[in-house]
Amino acid sequence: MAECTNSTLEVLTNKLTQQLAVIYADVELDISYQSLAFSLIQTMRLSEQDEPPAPYSNHWSEQDVVMITYGDSLLKENEKPLVTLQHFADNYLQDHINSIHILPFFPYSSDDGFSVIDYSSVNEALGDWGDITAIANKKRLMSDLVINHCSSRSLWFDNFVKGEGQGHDYFFTASPHDELSQVVRPRTSQLLRKTETAKGEQYVWCTFSHDQVDLDFRNPEVLSQFVKIIRLYLDNGVRIFRMDAVAFLWKIAGTPSINLPQTHEVVRLLRTLIEHAQPDAVIITETNIPNTQNLTYFGNANEAHCIYNFSLPPLLINTLITGNCLYLKRWLMSMPPAQDGTTYFNFIASHDGIGLRPAEGLLSDQEISLLINTMKNFGGAISWRTSESGEQKAYEMNISLFDALQGTVNGPDKWGMQRFICAHIIMLGLEGIPGIYIHSLLGTRNDYEKLKNTHHNRAINRHRWNYEALEQQLADETNPHANVLKQMLTLIDIRTAQKAFHPNATQFTLHLGLNLFGFWRQSQDRRQSIFCITNVTDQTQELPISELNLIITEHWVDLISGQNFDDLTQAIELAPYQTVWISNRGD
C-alpha cells in the first residue's frame, strides 16, 4: 500500500475509529478500534491521493437513467448471457440509458441470486468478471451488495457447521428462549433455523429464508470481509452499490432488530471507505420499510446517497386504477426535498413485487384491500408476512407492471397501454433518478409458466426472453413490445435533455383536483420550469392554463407533443392518461 501522509492517515483513521466505537460499543473486541480502522484502510488500498469528495456533491444529473435487469433476462443459444446483455445495450439502449443495474450475478442457491454462495466470483452460467467489466466500461454499473445474509451452501456456512475455518464464527445465532416477539420480518417462515454443528445444536437467525443465513456483524471479521468484497467490486467497475436488505443487518434480542443505530453506523462507515476509494461512487440502501423509516437512511447526507422511493409503486398504481390522485398527492407533498449529496431512486417495477409495507400509513386499509383484489383480478399473486402481532398480512403484490395497469378497479379496459406509459411519464418527471425494469422497457406480461414451474410468486415478473425471438418482435413496428420500447426511449430522451429534471431540481406539488395529478420542476439555475400534469382517469379532463399562472412573457410548449401555448387563457383537453410537460424552454 502506498504511504498515506500523516495528516490524511490521521483524519481518516480518527473518523473510522469513532465510527467503529459506535458500532462495537456493546461488543468486546480482541483488536483496538484504531488498529481495526487502519486494517480497513489497508484493505481498501487507500493512499495519499485518495481524498473524499467535497461534501454535498451530486454524482448524478438529469442524464442518469438506470435499467434494472437480471444477468440472464436475455438468452441466446451458445452465448454467455452477460454478452447477450451487452449486445442488447449496444443495439437498443445506446445513449438513451447510461446505467445498468445487474441483479446478483454471483453463484447462488436460491431467491434468484440473493442467496450468495461466493461473493468473489461471477456465476459461470452468466459469464465472468471480464464480461462484467466490459459492461462497466460502457455503462455505469450498479451491483448488489447482499450484506445481511448469505447462502447456507456457502463455504462460510460449511465451516460454521464444522466449527473451524473461515466463516465458523460469521453467523448470528440465538436461543428459542430469547425474547424474539418484537422482531420485524418480511416472511412467514420460522426466524430460527435449527442446525447441527460440531459444537452442538445451534439456532441460526434467518430473516428471510432458511437458505439465507444471517451474518453476525458483531464479529469485526465479517465487516472486514465485506470491505474486501467492496474493493473487489470497485476493481471490476462497480460504481453504484445497492445494499440489499441492510435495515436488518444488526440484531439484538428483545428489540425489533431493524433500523438499529449500529446498522446506520455501518452504512456510514462503508460510505467513508467507498468515497475515499472512489469519490464518484454511490450507495443506495434497499430498505423496503414504511416511508418515515426509509427516509432516515439519508442520515445527514452521510449515509446513503440514494434511497429507494418504495412508496411510489403502490401509490402510483393505486392512483391509476382508481382515477383519484389524493393519496399520491398527499405523499408527494410530505416528501422532504433531498439535500445536495442525496437524492431519491425512483422505480415503479422491479424484480420483486409491489411492496405494501411502504404504503402503510399512506393508504387506508380499505384502499389496500381494493388494490390487492384488483391485482388478483389481473392475474397477480400475493405474498404474505407475519406481523408483530402474529397475524398474516399482505407483504407484496406479484405481477408484471403491464398487467397491473391493464384496467381499473372496474376491470380490464382498452386503456392499458396508455395507462402503462402514463405511469412511466409520471416517474420520469419526479425528483430523483429513475430506474426502469427491463420488463417494463419491453412491456413483458405475467409469466404464468415460470410461476407454475417454480412455485415462487416473484417468478411471475422474472421472465427470460429468447433474445433472437425478442429481436424479431422489436423489428416489427406493429408489435406491442416494440411499441413500448420506442415510446419509453423517446420519453427518456426528452427527460435527459431537460435541466429542470435534474434529480435535485426544485419540485412543488400542484393542486388541480383529484383527477389531475401535477407537480412543478425548476432547474437549479432557475432558467427552466416544467409543469408536469397528468390525467389519471379514463375520461377526458379539462385543464384551464390560467390555473398554472404561467409567465406571459415566456414561450411555453408541451415537450411531449410539441404543442405550443400562445394563448394562456385557453383550456387544454387531456385525453385519458395523457401527460403534458409544459416548459418555457422547448429547445
Catalytic residue positions, numbered: 244
CA distance 413 to 318: 16
Report helix, strand or coil for 208: coil
Residue 47 CB-half CA count within 13 A:
4
User: What cell was used for 386?
Assistant: 407475519
Pick from 362, 409, 405, 400: which is nearest to 381 by CA? 400
CA gap 166, 156 in Å, rounded: 6
Asked if 73 and 463 touch (Cβ cutoff 8 Å), the reply is: yes
Q: Which residues contact 415 (CB under 8 A, 6 or more apart)?
A: 407, 538, 576, 577
Q: Which residue type occupies 189?
A: S
Written as nine digits, the cell of 50 is 485518495
| Residues whose CB is less than 8 angstroms from the CB of residue 94 and which lie 6 or more positions away in sequence, other chains included | none
Q: Is 39 helix (H, G, I), strand (E, B) or coil?
A: helix
**Buried residues in 386-405 as b, exposed as e (16+ CB within 10 A):** beeeeeeebbbbbbbbbbbb
Q: What amino acid is encoded at 370 in this protein?
A: L
Compute how many other C-beta atoms are within 10 angstroms of the C-beta atom of residue 385. 18
Binding residues: 111, 149, 242-244, 351-352, 458
Q: Do residues 498 and 328 touch, judged by C-beta distance below 8 A?
A: no
- From the CB of residue 21, how many other CB atoms can be counted at a distance below 10 Å? 13
**Residues annotated within a binding site for substrate:** 111, 149, 242-244, 351-352, 458
